[in-house]
Homo-oligomer: A and B are copies of this chain.
Amino acid sequence: MNPINIRAAIVGSTGYGGVELIRLLQSHPYVTVTSVISSSNAGSPIAQGFPHLTEIRTDLLDGVDVELIKSKAEVVFLATPHGISMKLAPEFLAAGLKVIDLSGDYRLKSGDTYREWYKHEPAPQADVERAIYGLAEIYGKHVSGADFISNPGCYSTATLLGLYPAVQAGWIKPDSIIIDAKSAVSGAGRGLNLSSHYSEINENFKAYKLNKHQHTPEIEQVLSEAAGFPVITTFTTHLVPMTRGIMCTMYATLTDKRTTADFVELYQQFYEGRRFVRVRPSGIWPATKEVWGTNYCDIGFSVDERTGRITFISVIDNLVKGAAGQAIQNLNLAMDWDETLGLQFTPVYP
């Protein structure tokens, strides 16, 4: 494998996550997308379904032919739904490719938990244990050199980057955590559904999957590790009438009297040197547009002396830091490259 000339394949390239991988990898200096695999538009040029990609001349392959892909790529991104990834990943790993899976199939260490929340049989436990959970700013050093990376969920990324340092430091009570999450509609994917139908969503705000969202156990798994004991949380998801962006507003009770400035300092130290987390000063909270189109996660705080609680605000672009961007960041970390390669965008404003 030539360390500065890697060929990548993308499976599931006609969903929003797959198309975003194509966009971002166009600007990666060391990676070339050589093949994209899609069951729905196979055989036609990518630009037919995605006219904004007129310049892209990559092969569009029909069906997953591991031998063929092996001849064209050293790394494969699985932008496939859960249940599908668990069928493909072992084949690619066996063929010697590096695999970065964007689905939920390898995020949960417990098969029982997976079965309960995903309503689907889990992947074999040995495969699950082999996968490195790629929450880049927290588990980056485990990712270094890894062959098989499970990319975190979009909500989980925003939540965990926002809460991990405070939980690990013991500054908040883990059992008091309440996460009120809001997502743009692209998070629901490109598949047709009345709940993504324009006239149903525009000028509308709705809650969904209360106390049932499958990112809940993923969040709890990591927070439990940070706390050192089992943590359960309340996690609620909403749909915002916009295309990109997630905000998580998170509430917790303080363990001791601390100020907003204390939290700012704790987080600045925790994330020192990590380019993609930006901590806002006291009294300023990030909006989703401030990270739009980029791999940033911006975080702000508000301690309330009256109630003894703190509110955390974290924002990401769900398709970048919440999916394709963090997947590329994980490839960079796995290859021991600068983690920002291919991801050096300034947010699009306005």
Interface residues of A (CB under 8 A from B): 16, 19, 22-23, 26-27, 50-55, 178, 180, 182, 184-186, 190, 192-194, 196-208, 210-211, 232-234, 236, 238, 240-245, 247, 249, 251, 278, 280, 284-293, 298, 300, 302, 304, 306-307, 309, 311, 313, 315, 344-350
B289, B311, B345: which contacts A210 (Cβ < 8 A)? B311
What residue in chain B is nearest A26 (Cβ atoms)?
B346
A243-B53 in contact given A251-B178, A306-B232 (Cβ < 8 Å): no
| CB atoms of B192 and A193 under 8 A apart | yes
How far in angstroms is the closest Cβ of chain B from A341?
A: 13
Can you sample 28 A-B contacts with CB below 8 Å? A19-B349, A27-B344, A51-B280, A51-B286, A51-B298, A52-B292, A52-B346, A55-B346, A182-B238, A185-B199, A186-B350, A192-B193, A196-B197, A198-B201, A202-B202, A202-B203, A203-B203, A204-B287, A204-B289, A205-B240, A205-B245, A205-B287, A207-B300, A211-B306, A211-B307, A232-B306, A234-B311, A293-B348
| CB atoms of A203 and B292 under 8 A apart | yes
A211-B304 in contact given A192-B193, A197-B197 (Cβ < 8 Å): yes
Which 3 residue pairs across A and B have the least CB separation, nearest first? A206-B287, A204-B289, A210-B302
A288-B251 in contact given A23-B346, A348-B23, A349-B23 (Cβ < 8 Å): no
Complex interface: chain B residues within 8 A of A344 (CB): 26-27
